[in-house]
C-alpha cells in the first residue's frame, strides 16, 4: 500500500502584483494592522488611504504599487533607525 501525500499549503505570502487591486479586507496582510488600527493609521496618514472602486460602491482597497511603495518607505525608515542606534552604541562604547 502506498501512502498518499498530502499537499502542503505554503505559508509564504505571494509577491504583490503592482497592477493588482487588493481589497480593504485584506489590508491587514500587507500593512500588519487589524481593522481598527488600520483605520487609525489611515486617518493619521501613516498608511495611504484606500481607493474606491466606483463612485457609488463600497469596495475599497489599494493597488499593489501603493502597498509596495509604503513597504519600501517603512523598510528605509527602519534601516535609518537601525543605523542611528548602531552609531550611538559605537559612540557610547568609544567614550
**Does residue 2 lie in a domain region?**
no
**Would residue 16 count as lying in a domain?**
no
Query: What average pLDDT does this structure show over 48-69?
Result: 90
Over residues 14-33, the pLDDT tens digits come to 789 999 999 999 999 999 99
Q: What percent of the chain has pLDDT over 70?
A: 86
Which residue stretches of 23-63 are H helix?
Answer: 27-31, 35-44
* CA-based nearest residue to 35, from 50, 21, 20, 56: 50
Percent of the chain with pLDDT over 90: 71
62 occurs within a structural domain: yes
SS3 content of the chain, % helix, strand, coil (to 5): 50, 10, 40
**Does some domain include residue 13?**
no
Has residue 15 been placed in a domain?
A: no
pLDDT of residue 6: 56
Which cell numbers hold the place of 45?
Answer: 496618514
- The model's confidence at residue 77, banded by pLDDT at 50, 70 and 90, is very high
Its domain, for residue 47, covers: 21-94
Answer yes or no: is 11 within a domain.
Answer: no
Does residue 6 lie in a domain region? no
Amino acid at each position: 500500500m502506498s501512502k498518499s501525500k498530502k499537499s502542503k499549503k505554503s505559508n509564504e505570502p505571494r509577491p504583490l502584483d503592482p497592477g493588482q487591486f487588493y481589497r480593504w479586507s485584506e489590508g491587514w496582510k500587507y500593512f500588519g494592522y487589524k481593522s481598527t488600527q488600520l483605520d487609525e493609521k489611515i486617518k493619521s496618514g501613516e498608511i495611504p488611504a484606500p481607493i474606491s472602486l466606483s463612485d457609488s460602491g463600497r469596495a475599497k482597497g489599494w493597488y499593489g504599487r501603493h502597498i509596495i511603495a509604503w513597504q519600501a518607505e517603512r523598510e528605509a525608515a527602519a534601516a535609518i533607525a537601525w543605523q542611528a542606534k548602531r552609531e550611538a552604541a559605537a559612540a557610547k562604547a568609544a567614550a
